[in-house]
Chain A
Amino acid sequence: MAFEIPKINYTGKIKEITIGAGNKTATVGGRDCYPFHLFEGTMPHPPIIAMEIWDMEPDNWPEAAIEPFKDVISDPPAWAKKCVEEYGAQIIVVQLKSTDPNDKDRPVDEAADMAKKIVDAVPVPVVFWGTAVSEKDEQVLKKIAEVCEGENLSLSPVEEAIHKSVGASALGYRHTVVASTPIDINLAKQLNILLGNLGVQDEHLLIDPTTGGLGYGIEYAYSVMERLFQAGLTQEDDKLQIPMINNLGNEIWKCKEAGLPKDELPTMGEPGRRAILMEAVGAVCYLLAGSDILIMRHPESIKLAQEMINDLMAEN
């Protein structure tokens, strides 16, 4: 008997979500099959790699991560521009590190001023990512929503504790909410429902399933993401048919092995290339697990991951 391609039946489809506004938009989702299973479905919008910048000069980045940005690293708007102009970033993610109450604790108004400058500097959509200290994130994200009214920014991480107030701001000032839950399919669904009850449409929603670093919990995120897309695509769970976003670069580059000098453990090789490959390997895992927006740091890892996307999407 001749071989027949073993296909499965899909009953759902990931929703198409457009972030950004005006002529600064990017669209993800729309996929009606498992990631890159193009023999039995379609992916109208391949995953997008977003580039991260910080809203302050990073004080703990390994040398290799600083190198490509060293001319702009103390100037967030210039840094964002460089990501777009030189590295072709389609989405910019601003990590709001300066607002961390346990560190610099930059006041809300100042943080929002900086946010506005960055948004105005680039011709692509912007995602703002807080420090996961929810009391502060709540204030900062609300203020950014207000000063950037109508930009359809993506505001993250919106945890259950702050979903009402940040969700309301996103509604009022027309932004997208990144619903963030700690590696749990039921909590992810519940938060999407709560945001829906508040009036946030699915079209303005992204899922942050929580991202683990390579060797630091990647397998938990990987499996919960596979379960999330299975629920959406084969179990008709329309509350989970939402694209996913993963804050990967931040997790990879803060882990010990990304910065370990060669003389401490020569068999692990040069720290720069090691960390770049750790980020690229992590990226492949998240792409296969259904990430739609993958936030990355180093231009070389991004290039490797982008080539993988292109190769997986290539015509046979």
Chain B
Amino acid sequence: MALTGIQIFKMLPKTNCKECGHPTCLAFAMALASGKAELASCPDVSDEAKEQLAEASAPPVRPMQIGAGDRSFKIGGETVLFRHEKTFLGSPGLGVLVSTDTDEGTLTEKLKVWDTFQFERVGFNLRPELVAIKDVNGDAGKFAALAKKVIDESNFCLVLMSEDVGVMKAGIDSCADRKPVIYAATKDNVDDMGALAKEKGLPLAIKADDMDGLMDLTGKLTGMGLKDLILDSNSRTVRRAFEDQIWLRREAIMKKNRALGFPTITFPCEMADNLDKETVIASMFIAKYAGIIILSDFIGESLFPLLVERLNIYTDPQRPMTVEQGIYEINGPDENSPVCITTNFALTYFIVSAEIDASRVPSWLLIMDTEGLSVMTAWAAGKFVGDAVGIFVNKSGIFDKVKHKKLIIPGYAAAISGDLEEEVKDSEILIGPRDASQITKFLKEFGV
């Protein structure tokens, strides 16, 4: 059971040294109790207290590493129900189902295709993480062979799906270094599956038909010393699955129920008869709390929207997304092409670059680092002002690429025109439109 702030306070050194960033030990204790601080930031806490407090101060949803290598990822660790309270941390892994009646050649081909689904966006490489191998015929040899194929031919992480401990063992032995997730322990195999997971040091998913069933299993498994558990409440209708996600997260966060404080695994692939519908169900699980989401197939049309949604929902709500400062080429510009300047707020960049792109006018786009502020905010904050922009333009290297000195600035930053002209020698400053939707019109007229 979780401790209260006062209970925690009694175990702290009470030096009020402020090293942890809190004004008093009591304030620190309160922050620990609500999962908003880490015990490690206290320099003087005793080992004994550490042990006692470790459990109480751990995040209400157990954080864990899934897989190994390039595509490994973290799930859990959440402390809130709504993303405006604090950034969601455990961005859910997306996986694809492969059953053991798939032949090995087909899997080879599919792995090649799935590996190509990688999308660059705001400095992130968006891609799915997992292949789930599902035992459908008790063929341990085939199970192991497919798992081995995944690690030999790709860097996907794995979920191994079988309720037969013998089959599971064969699978694990063929891909142990990739740290597969074991799916699943049930009330019928919990002792053996638990022992196997413990021996191999792997995360173990458990499946039960209701919350009481899940709590029985987590109680038993944590008693055996297992820590990294993943929950499947076995609901396969949209409404029940949605409710379960809400209940599990609330139990962990509001009730501090450690027995349900684990990430979840979900199966849109078992909830719909076509991939479009699976995709919208998966989008619900991205917004509402899944740790792992398994689809029946990966295709670009479905993955791209899901990966972008995941990126958006799991960004820090307090810190705007940014793009790299620098020179961006759009539509193959040359030495006579127009030069546009704007800020590095990701939305500003996306919208401006998309409009320039759509105009088909070859252009240079200079993106200046304004710490993610949009044009008006950056200008108001003194970050997008004449001398600053001028210094950036001069250093950017743009004048090695063009032979004119016309600079187009955002309409909302018209006021910086004079200072900028002074800062950039021989320049001519043109005031662009205030709204990006007018860029095409502006550039076309500029070209004339």
Q: Do A and B bind each other?
A: yes
**Contacting pair A268 B357 (CB below 8 A):** no
Min Cβ gap A37→B in Å is 7
> Which of B247, B305, B441 is within 8 Å of A102, CB to CB?
B441
Chain A positions within 8 Å of B311 at CB level: 215
**Contacting pair A281 B279 (CB below 8 A):** yes
> Which of B239, B251, B276 is within 8 Å of A277, CB to CB?
B276
**Contacting pair B116 A308 (CB below 8 A):** no
Identify the closest chain A residue to B300 (Cβ).
A269
Within 8 A of B (CB), among A214-259: 214-219, 222-224, 226-227, 230, 255-257
> Can you add 6 more A-B contacts, CB < 8 Å, to A6-B255, A8-B254, A281-B309?
A3-B215, A102-B441, A215-B350, A255-B354, A281-B305, A313-B239
A-B contact pairs, 19 of them (CB 8 A): A3-B215, A6-B250, A38-B243, A215-B308, A215-B311, A222-B312, A223-B84, A230-B82, A270-B301, A273-B301, A274-B304, A276-B276, A278-B304, A278-B305, A280-B279, A281-B305, A304-B276, A307-B280, A308-B284
Chain B positions within 8 Å of A274 at CB level: 300-301, 304-305
> Which of B210, B283, B304 is within 8 Å of A285, CB to CB?
B283
**Contacting pair A277 B305 (CB below 8 A):** yes
Binds A, one of B117-125, B154-162, B424-432: B117-125
A305 to B243, CA, bound (A): 18
Say if the beta carbon of B422 comes within 8 Å of chain A. Answer: no
> Which of B121, B247, B304 is within 8 Å of A269, CB to CB?
B304
Say if the beta carbon of B288 comes within 8 Å of chain A. Answer: yes
Within 8 A of A (CB), among B260-286: 276-277, 279-281, 283-284
Interface membership of chain A positions 281-294, coded 1 if the CB is closer than 8 angstroms to chain B and 0 otherwise: 11111001000000
Min Cβ gap A36→B in Å is 6
What residues of chain B have their CB less than 8 Å away from a CB belonging to chain A?
Answer: 82-84, 116-119, 121, 210-212, 215, 237-240, 242-243, 246-247, 250-251, 254-255, 276-277, 279-281, 283-284, 287-288, 299-302, 304-306, 308-309, 311-313, 315, 317, 347, 350-351, 354, 357-358, 435, 437-438, 441
Identify the closest chain A residue to B357 (Cβ).
A256
Chain B positions within 8 Å of A285 at CB level: 283, 287, 309, 313
Identify the closest chain B residue to A252 (Cβ).
B305
> Which of B83, B238, B317 is within 8 Å of A314, CB to CB?
B238
Chain B positions within 8 Å of A316 at CB level: 237, 239-240, 243
**Contacting pair A281 B277 (CB below 8 A):** no
Q: When A215-B308, A219-B315, A277-B279 are in contact, do A267 and B118 touch as well, CB less than 8 Å?
A: yes
Q: When A6-B247, A269-B300, A281-B283 are in contact, do A311 and B82 touch as well, CB less than 8 Å?
A: no
Leading 5 A-B pairs by shortest Cβ distance = A269-B300, A311-B238, A269-B301, A3-B211, A6-B250
What residues of chain A have their CB less than 8 Å away from a CB belonging to chain B?
Answer: 2-3, 5-6, 8, 36-39, 102, 212, 214-219, 222-224, 226-227, 230, 255-257, 266-270, 273-274, 276-278, 280-285, 288, 300, 304-305, 307-308, 311-314, 316
Chain A positions within 8 Å of B250 at CB level: 6, 8
**Contacting pair A269 B306 (CB below 8 A):** no
Min Cβ gap A263→B in Å is 13
Interface residues of A, dominant DSSP: helix
Chain A positions within 8 Å of B284 at CB level: 284, 288, 308
**Contacting pair B301 A307 (CB below 8 A):** no
Identify the closest chain B residue to A304 (Cβ).
B280
A40 to B225, CA, bound (A): 36
A266 to B113, CA, bound (A): 11
**Contacting pair A226 B82 (CB below 8 A):** yes
**Contacting pair B84 A227 (CB below 8 A):** yes
> Which of A36, A37, A214, A276 is within 8 Å of B308, CB to CB?
A214
A305 to B276, CA, bound (A): 11
**Contacting pair B119 A268 (CB below 8 A):** yes
The listed residue with most A CB atoms (<10 A of its CB), out of B119, B279, B283, B287, is: B283
**Contacting pair B82 A215 (CB below 8 A):** no
**Contacting pair A216 B239 (CB below 8 A):** no
A215 to B357, CA, bound (A): 17
Chain A positions within 8 Å of B118 at CB level: 267
**Contacting pair B358 A256 (CB below 8 A):** yes
**Contacting pair B276 A267 (CB below 8 A):** no
> Which of B119, B246, B308 is within 8 Å of A267, CB to CB?
B119
**Contacting pair A102 B84 (CB below 8 A):** no
A307 to B273, CA, bound (A): 13
Q: When A102-B437, A281-B279 are in contact, do A216 and B351 touch as well, CB less than 8 Å?
A: yes
**Contacting pair B301 A219 (CB below 8 A):** no
**Contacting pair A311 B237 (CB below 8 A):** yes
**Contacting pair B301 A268 (CB below 8 A):** yes
Chain B positions within 8 Å of A223 at CB level: 82-84, 317
**Contacting pair B239 A312 (CB below 8 A):** yes
Chain B positions within 8 Å of A304 at CB level: 276-277, 280
The listed residue with most B CB atoms (<10 A of its CB), out of A267, A280, A283, A314, is: A267
A167 to B329, CA, bound (A): 46
**Contacting pair A6 B242 (CB below 8 A):** no
Identify the closest chain B residue to A285 (Cβ).
B287
A227 to B82, CA, bound (A): 9
Min Cβ gap A233→B in Å is 13
Chain B positions within 8 Å of A300 at CB level: 276
Min Cβ gap B311→A in Å is 8
Chain B positions within 8 Å of A257 at CB level: 304
Chain A positions within 8 Å of B279 at CB level: 277, 280-281
Chain A positions within 8 Å of B254 at CB level: 6, 8
> Which of A230, A267, A281 is within 8 Å of B306, CB to CB?
A281
**Contacting pair B82 A308 (CB below 8 A):** no
Identify the closest chain A residue to B308 (Cβ).
A215
**Contacting pair A38 B301 (CB below 8 A):** no
**Contacting pair A268 B300 (CB below 8 A):** yes
Min Cβ gap A286→B in Å is 10
Identify the closest chain B residue to A303 (Cβ).
B276
Min Cβ gap B332→A in Å is 14
Min Cβ gap A121→B in Å is 29
> Which of B281, B309, B317 is within 8 Å of A218, CB to CB?
B309
